[in-house]
Structure 1
Amino acid sequence: MTGQAANVHATAVVLGTRGFLFVGPSGAGKTTLALSCLTAARNSGLFAALVSDDQVLISMRNGRAVARRPASIAGLAEIRGAGIVAVESVPAAVMDFAILPVKPPFEPRMPPENETFLLPSGDFLPLKRLPLAEGLNSFEILRLILPQNADFQGQ
């Protein structure tokens, strides 16, 4: 699917120089987790911005997954129970990882190795499970679970 975009139910963000596609069913905590990571990244001095919330247009360009926002929801995120909020955003970004929010009791306890997220194009993104629980610093956990060669500065 080079060039043609598919609408994916997800939340896409940029943290530093990396793109993250938060995936999962409705109500899984995608937006909450993504916004929490955005705030923590900014507080750490990193660039952080929303690409799109709820609807993400994914296309493949030169072997990379590119996320874009539909114009109708540019710069908006829906916080369940609180409503629609304005969030600093960018129109598009390359996605490097898919993130799956997981809630207690965290089953399975250990995630499968080399887990991937299937994109509509048939391509894959490496998938990481990120705990969503009170008292956890999601951004710091994200930093710890990423491969050592995948920092937030593009190195």
Structure 2
Amino acid sequence: MMTQGASVHASAVLVGDRAVLIRGPSGAGKSRLAFDLILAGRAGQLPPAVLVGDDRVHLDTVDGQLWVRPARELAGLIEIRGLGIRRCDVVIEAIVGLVVDLAAGDAARLPPPEALSTRLNGVLLPRIPVGSGYDPLPMIAAALTTTASSGSVQPLDDCSKGIGNHISPNIATD
């Protein structure tokens, strides 16, 4: 049985069999991202996605896994900017599989490996730091539907075309 855990200012959506925990300051877009994930699940762009909680959730660690549950008074409610508080389907608990930090100060185009994980309640989890002004949905979709490249693929420091963002010398050579 799960015990009442720490209440945190965050949203969470169950995508497939793992929850995406969305953190960030007020106004950063946590509710918007939660709803975008639900819509992407409905559209088949991601596995089916269901709200766990919006604005405030409870976290518990059980057997080395981080569980998330909605705050009881907010269960099944989500804020949709311009429409207000709306009801939607909800799951009462899920295992967290990914943490997304909106308006993250350490967001980078090619983040160092240490920025791509975080420890919450003693559990090491994959993390996506998203900078202010960037759409987090494509990054999350990529994280959930692709795998990391092998260590042998490295971006080039300089490119023969002078652009500097090519993965291999074979790309964009005339």
The question of a shared fold, defined as TM-score above 0.5 by the shorter chain, is answered with yes
Amino acid in structure 1 at the alignment position of 2:147: Q
- What's 2:141 paired with? 143
Instruction: Compute the displacement of 1:111 (Å).
Output: 2.4
Give, as a single letter, the amino acid of the residue that structure 1 aligns with 2:18.
Answer: R
Residue in 2 that maps onto 1:85: 86
Which runs of 5 or more residues in structure 2 are unaligned? 149-174
Q: Which has the higher contact order (CA 8 A, sep 6+)?
A: 1
**C-alpha separation between the residues in 1 aligned to 2:107 and 2:98?**
21
Structure 1 distance, partners of 2:35, 2:142, is: 18
Distance 1:90 1:126, change over 3 A: same
Q: Per-residue displacement from partner, 1:72-104 (whole Å, max 9, x unpaired)?
A: 11100123443101121111111111012349x
Which runs of at least 4 in structure 1 moved beyond 4 Å after TM superposition?
A: 130-134
8 Å Cα contact 2:57-2:68 kept in structure 1? yes
Distance 1:130 1:35, change over 3 A: farther
**Structure 1 unaligned blocks of 5 or more:** 150-155
Higher share of residues assigned strand: 1
Q: CA deviation at 1:43?
A: 0.9
CA distance in 2, matches of 1:97, 1:31: 16
Q: CA RMSD in A?
A: 2.8
Distance 2:140 2:125 in 1: 16
* 1:12 is the counterpart of 2:9: no
Paired amino acid for 1:6: A
* Residue in structure 1 matched with residue 158 of structure 2 by the alignment: none
2:34 aligned partner: 34
Using the alignment, how far apart are the partners of 2:143 and 2:47 within structure 1?
18
Q: Deviations over 1:32-74 (max 9, x none)?
A: 1121111011110732100001111000111100001122111
Answer with 90-99 or 43-52: which moved more. Answer: 43-52
Structure with greater Cα Rg: 2
SS in 1 for 2:114: coil
Partner SS state of residue 108, structure 1:
coil
The TM-score with structure 1 as length reference comes to 0.77
How many Å separate the matches in 2 of 1:16 and 1:98? Answer: 15
Q: What is the alpha-carbon distance in structure 1 between the residues aligned to residue 5 and residue 126 of structure 2?
A: 20
When normalised by structure 2's length, the TM-score is: 0.69
Instruction: Report the alpha carbon displacement of residue 107 of structure 1 after superposing the two structures with TM.
Output: 5.3
Provide the C-alpha distance between the structure 2 equivalents of 1:41 and 1:8, rounded to a whole number of angstroms.
25
- Percent identity between matched residues is 34
Q: Distance in 2 between matches of 1:89 and 1:38?
A: 11
Count, aligned residues: 143
Corresponding letter in the other structure for 1:12 = A
